[in-house]
Amino acid sequence: MAERRRAGRLVVPPRQDPADKALLERSAIEELSHHADPWRVLRILSEFVEGFDALNDVGPAVTVFGSARTKPDEPIYQAGRDLGAALARRGFAVITGGGPGMMEAVNRGCHEAGGLSVGCNIELPSEQELNKYVDLGVEFRYFFVRKNMFVKYARGSVIFPGGLGTLDELFESLTLAQTGKIEHFPIVLFGSAYWKGLLDWMRAVVLGHGAMSPDDFELVKVTDDPEEAAELATRPLPVEVDEPREETGEPKAEAR
């Protein structure tokens, strides 16, 4: 184990608790004094500023989520590379969590195709290094700051098979879209066999209990084709505009 690990711009001892844990689990002394929280707010604010500053010039981008446990010899890994390349050919950057597995696959495909490959890493109990295919890497200490970047600087998202973190990102995106916080934000599920059970359960149980609307299923598209996923995630907004996107003069994302 390394003697030090990265946490934003800081280098901290490996036994120090992650920032999110420190925020949510205060000691008895802190409960009495509340002295730490005002200063923590300033640290959180500074992380937002650093993230905004780093990603402000990325240009049009698509955020991609998926399992960090996917191995390079799995077919889904190659599909991730193909998606990253397809997005780069369309002039879009990719934004991932910057780690291994599907994140690496998508970053790799975009990087090798000459696009801008972005990784938003997060401080974890078991250190996660940025994969080597990231052109622009940003490290965060707080999950909610990192999540803001995934949505703020993306035009849509593609979600590959993954675990709890991937499901968290999926349902957060769906909630934001359902409530109108992000309008006309394409959400693409890649891997129909993987997502079928979840969607069937939502239709039978959640919709069956009246806890959601049938229209909510229109918020997601499902595909098994990387080119179609790239097309769906970058499709022009379904609203009336004066000029097509390609004629607006908007700069394309390029590797740096």
pLDDT tens digits for range 203-252: 999 999 999 999 999 999 999 999 999 999 998 655 444 444 344 344 45
Residue 13 lies in a domain: no
pLDDT single digits (tens) 42-70: 888 999 999 999 999 999 999 999 999 99
Residue 224 lies in a domain: yes
The answer, as to whether pTM is greater than 0.85, is no
Residue 43 lies in a domain: no
pLDDT single digits (tens) 11-27: 444 555 666 666 666 55
Domain that holds residue 168: 50-233
Residue 116 lies in a domain: yes
Q: Which string of DSSP letters, residue by residue, matches the chain?
A: --S-EEETTEEE-TTSPPHHHHHHS--HHHHHH--HHHHHHHHHHHHHHHHHHHHTT--SEEEEE--TT--TTSHHHHHHHHHHHHHHHTT-EEEE--SSTHHHHHHHHHHHTT--EEEEEE--SS--PPPTT-SEEEEES-HHHHHHHHHHT-S-EEE-S--HHHHHHHHHHHHHHHTTSSTT--EEEE-HHHHHHHHHHIIIIITTTTSS-GGGGGGEEEES-HHHHHHHHTPPPSS--SS-GGGTTPPPP---
Number of domains present in the structure of the chain: 1
What is the CATH classification number for the domain harbouring 126? 3.40.50.450
Residue 249 lies in a domain: no
